[in-house]
Amino acid sequence: MIKVRHSEDRGLSQLGWLDSRHTFSFGDYYEPEQMGVSALRVINDDKVIPGAGFATHSHRDMEIISYVTKGSIEHKDSMGHVEVLPAGEFQLMSAGTGVTHSEYNPSPTEPLEFLQIWIQPKQLGIEPAYQQKKFVRKAGIQNIASPDARDESLLLHQDASLYQLVIRVGQEVPHDVKSGRTLYVHVVSGQVKVNGENLHGGDGATVRDVETVAFTGATDGEALVFDLP
């Protein structure tokens, strides 16, 4: 079973400095049927104007992943991290018992575009932690985050995994799905077919009750694939 969430159906926040599309209910956008999929709670597609960003604020008991697609993020947090996250890199912040942080676009001229992802942790009250990594971009599917940090992925405190799919036009990439698991696919760019269903950039799809998913490049494309309990 595949249930598609089209890009144009997402929620919208426009704050002058921020243009954000919400796959699931977030902030002032509330849709009872769009509260997330399994432990996946938020996918926000954010565009931030030069010199602006998210002022210092707090989180707790959430796994927060940022993936920059254009520009860079200047990150500061209460754990003492002062980092720059450039395009192509992944950041995973485990809020745990509580953390404050800010995220800014440091460029005076270039816009920032990134995906903000929240995953509910399996255990509450863990010690806050910060991870950041650049993965070699390559065609196919590779593990970005997992509960056991396998394949040198980031450590995610949930029985879930995040994969990055990079696909070329005409290429087919199979991906096995364990019994009882749910996949959520978010297309970052291009056009990707999921078991024949054509998805464009910004589209998403929930996939259940299948043993294998076939990803096919309708164009060159990129997607994030979440394997969820």
pLDDT at 48: 98
CA 34, CA 19: separation in Å to the nearest integer?
Answer: 20
pLDDT tens by residue, 37-53:
999 999 999 999 999 99
pLDDT at 126: 97
At 199, the amino acid letter reads: L
CA 45, CA 188: separation in Å to the nearest integer?
Answer: 9
Reading across the β-sheet that carries 11-14, which strands appear in turn? Answer: 11-14, 18-22, 40-48, 112-119, 63-70, 89-94, 129-134
- Domain range spanning residue 22? 2-228
| Mean pLDDT within 55-81 | 98
Q: How many domains does the chain have?
A: 1
Q: pLDDT band at 82, cuts 50/70/90?
A: very high
pLDDT tens by residue, 154-203:
999 999 999 999 999 999 999 999 999 999 999 999 999 999 999 999 99
**Full DSSP string of 123-161:** SSSPPPEEEEEEPPP-SEEEEEEETT-GGGPEE-SSS-E
From residue 44, alpha-carbon distances to 35, 76, 149, 177 in Å are 13, 20, 24, 25
Of 42, 48, 46, nearest in space to 12 by CA? 46
| Mean pLDDT within 223-228 | 98
Q: pLDDT band at 206, cuts 50/70/90?
A: very high
pLDDT tens by residue, 111-157:
999 999 999 999 999 999 999 999 999 999 999 999 999 999 999 99
Q: pLDDT band at 32, cuts 50/70/90?
A: very high
pLDDT at 179: 95
Q: pLDDT band at 223, cuts 50/70/90?
A: very high
At 44, the amino acid letter reads: N
pLDDT at 158: 98
0.95 cut: is pTM over it? yes
Q: What is the CATH number for 224?
A: 2.60.120.10
Q: How many CB atoms lie within 10 A of CB 15?
A: 11
Q: pLDDT band at 217, cuts 50/70/90?
A: very high
Q: How many CB atoms lie within 10 A of CB 226?
A: 25
